[in-house]
Amino acid sequence: MPALNNVSDYIVVKLREGGVFVNVIKLHKLLYYVQAWHLAFNRGEFFPNRFQAWVHGPVSRDVYDRYKDTKTMYSSVDISDIRPGFDPSKDLNAYERAHIDAILEVYANFTGDQLEEMTHLEQPWLEARAGVPASARSENYLSEETMKSFYAARLSPSA
């Protein structure tokens, strides 16, 4: 199971080297979809971190804490933000890179705002925000079981 920071750094490297803009909010959503789809394929957690149902959609507290002193949710994340010594071929195995790449192929061209809007329409975030006013702060965790069942249902031909 890869470390969250390795997955995060890989996403930034992959997108920035491909000329794709990434900001902090987009990074949170891409990490969320990496986790959600791994659960959906019945492969368990991809990394051992959970997501909270913030106003702006699913957010990893660990990633937020990593950038909170230097960036806002809308700040750009660049290669210079990668941890020194990070090496995708050593810090992630071929399976892990392939899973992340598959998620990026589908979601990378969406903006952070578009990804936020998408998550706001999906059951895992809606369930975790139930009863919380739209603009209120929340640290409720998204249910991994709900994530698994919601995305797995989207895999069926009738979805």
pLDDT in tens, 66-86: 999 999 999 999 999 999 999
User: How far apart (Å, rounded) are the C-alpha atoms in residues 147 and 10?
Assistant: 23
Q: What is the mean pLDDT of residues 29-49?
A: 97
- The three-class DSSP label of residue 61 is helix
pLDDT of 146 strictly over 60: yes
- DSSP code at position 122: S
Average pLDDT over residues 86-115: 98
Whether the predicted pLDDT of 1 surpasses 90: no
User: In the prediction, which pLDDT does 97 show?
Assistant: 98
Q: Is the pLDDT of residue 159 over 60?
A: no
57 has which bridge partners?
54
Could you tell me the two tokens for 12?
A: 């930034």
Instruction: Place 127 in a pLDDT band, splitting at 50, 70 and 90.
Output: very high
CA distance 95 to 37: 14
Round to whole Å and give the CA distance between 35 and 47. 7
Which is nearest to 23 in space by CA: 111, 123, 102? 111
- The CA angle 49-52-57, to the nearest 5 degrees, is 120
Q: Across the chain, what does the average pLDDT equal?
A: 96
pLDDT for position 114 = 98
Confidence of residue 157 (pLDDT cuts 50, 70, 90): confident
